[in-house]
Amino acid sequence: MINGSRIVAGVLTLGVLSWSWCSGANPVPPVKPILEIPSFGVLKSPTAAEVKAQADAWAKTRPPLSAEQQKAMDALWAGADSYSDKLAQTFALLDPEAATILNQAKESVFEAPQEIPALLKDASKPMFFRANLAVTYSRILSQNKVYELALDTLKLFRPEQVADPSSYLFHRAVAEYSLMMKKEAD
Domain extents in the chain:
48-185
Task: With CA atoms as reference, report the closest residue to 51 among 128, 120, 126.
Answer: 128
Q: State mean pLDDT over 28-41.
A: 58
**Tens digits of per-residue pLDDT, 66-75?**
888 888 888 8
> What phi and psi, each to the nearest 5 degrees, are found at residue 35?
-70, -20
163 in Cβ contact with 45 (< 8 Å): yes
What's the whole-number average pLDDT of the chain?
82
Task: With CA atoms as reference, report the closest residue to 149 among 111, 100, 185, 123.
Answer: 111
Altogether, the residues listed in the chain come to a count of 186
Q: State mean pLDDT over 31-60.
A: 75
Q: State mean pLDDT over 119-128.
A: 92
Query: What's the CA gap between 98 and 132, in Å, rounded?
Result: 11
Q: State mean pLDDT over 51-80.
A: 86
